Amino acid sequence: MIPFLDLKAQYHSIKPEIDAAVTKVLESSQFALGEEVAAFEREFASYVGAAEAVGVNSGTSALHLALLAAGVGPGDEVITVPFTFVATVAAVCYTGARTVFVDVDPRALTLDVTNLERAITPRTKVIMPVHLYGQPADMDPIMEVARRRRLVVIEDAAQAHGAEYKGRRAGSIGDLGCFSFYPGKNLGAYGEGGMVVTSNADHARTIRMLRDWGQDRRYHHVLKGFNYRLEGIQGAILRVKLRRLEEWTESRRRHAARYNELLAGSPVRTPEAMAYARHVYHIYAVRSADRDGLQKSLQGAGVQTGVHYPIPVHLQPAYADLGYKAGDFPHSEAAAREVLSLPMFAELTSSQLEAVAAAVGEGIHAV
Ligand SMILES: Cc1ncc(COP(=O)(O)O)c(C=O)c1O
């Protein structure tokens, strides 16, 4: 059996440090926010290359608060892509604003800038590119359009810890960047967690208040806030794991290069790393015309895979009210039919990589 992800293997490789970090929080009893969260915020801001980082209880909360800090509310429009995890769109919904989709680029699977300007209306406030699978969207032309049209850019970097666009870290390029620390992410907590990074001091201050009931001091509520605080234990765990992130990222990149080599010449399409990107391979997704058949045959061979994501958000029943229909975003719809995510985690061994690639080859011939 080759798992899609092996969180236990990673824990065992850092167990003494993690156990000590958790014990320290238990002894301090700083369970919600506290010193470990504050230290992690400073370290993560510095890692990303932003002035500030604000820890919250999920990536979804990070997006929600980033949108609120940008002033988004009912009557506004936010532009993003339909080929993403549903949370990107849910966060827009929470603010009362409307999501306007533009399709993805068929190679990069991130926001296609050629479609961007015609989606802008007088109601547009924010452009929210998604750095899908760990590869940044093409940010220069997005920033150019945003600056010219006076729009805010919020990066959904939930899958892109340590990814780079022309040498700059994902999350530090737009006005605000949002990360998820869901356990399976490249930098994952042992529970839920998220972060907003920004170099705008006003935005950071607003988000710090909003995550903690809108208080500027205890029981003095100047904004209608939320209970979106990051837990002390997660902050302490994430500090330990951040020190390993570069090493783990390089392992992922080596694994991806090996998969590319082993699968070259096979009928599956391997993922394209764009010239501007340092891709961090949160997901390594191949494409196949018979994705479901291939997945079944890999399952039979003991290889666990995933599909990220089988239905683009504009075709999800929950978002039917946005008024889109099948055929509106052909590149997103094709990707949703064809992508298959292969096992990808730092601790994968070379024999596991070879076994997965061999099973893909056999699976293709069988289907
Ligand atoms: C692209 C994207 N956006 C947002 C989120 C939401 O993050 P979370 O699950 O931490 O709320 C996720 C992860 O699940 C994601 O993959």
**Which two tokens mark 149?**
């049209």
Mutate to test the pocket of ligand 1, among 60, 83, 109 (most ligand atoms within 8 A of CB): 60
CB count in 10 Å sphere of residue 338: 18
Mutate to test the pocket of ligand 1, among 85, 187, 195 (most ligand atoms within 8 A of CB): 85
Please identify, by atom number, the ligand 1 atom nearest to the C-alpha of residue 61. 11
Question: On the CB side of 337, how many CA atoms lie within 13 Å of its CA?
Answer: 11
Helix axes 350-366, 291-300, angle to 10 degrees: 120
Q: Which residues line ligand 1 (CB under 6 A)?
A: 58-60, 84-85, 87-88, 130, 156, 158-159, 180, 182, 192, 194
The tens digit of pLDDT for each residue in 258-277 reads 999 999 989 899 999 999 99
> Could you give the percent of the chain with pLDDT greater than 90?
98
User: How many residues does the structure list for the chain?
Assistant: 367
Amino acid at 113: V
**Which two tokens mark 19?**
């156990």
- What phi-psi label fits residue 293: left (phi over 0), alpha (psi between -120 and 50 degrees) or beta? alpha
* All residues at 6 or more sequence positions from 298 whose CB lies less than 8 Å from its CB, including other chains: 304, 305, 340, 356, 359, 360, 363
Q: What kind and span of H or E run contains 287?
A: strand 284-287
What span, in angstroms and rounded, lies between the C-alpha atoms of 345 and 331? 27
What span, in angstroms and rounded, lies between the C-alpha atoms of 12 and 24? 19
Q: What kind and span of H or E run contains 202?
A: helix 201-210
Cα 27 to ligand 1 centroid, rounded to whole Å: 31
Tens digit of pLDDT at every position of the chain (367 positions): 999 999 999 999 999 999 999 999 999 999 999 999 999 999 999 999 999 999 999 999 999 999 999 999 999 999 999 999 999 999 999 999 999 999 999 999 999 999 999 999 999 999 999 999 999 999 999 999 999 999 999 999 999 999 999 999 999 999 999 999 999 999 999 999 999 999 999 999 999 999 999 999 999 999 999 999 999 999 999 999 999 999 999 999 999 999 999 999 898 999 999 999 999 999 999 999 999 999 999 999 999 999 999 999 999 999 999 999 999 999 999 999 999 999 999 999 999 999 999 999 987 665 4
What span, in angstroms and rounded, lies between the C-alpha atoms of 53 and 66? 12
CA distances from 198 to 121, 185, 330 (A): 26, 21, 33
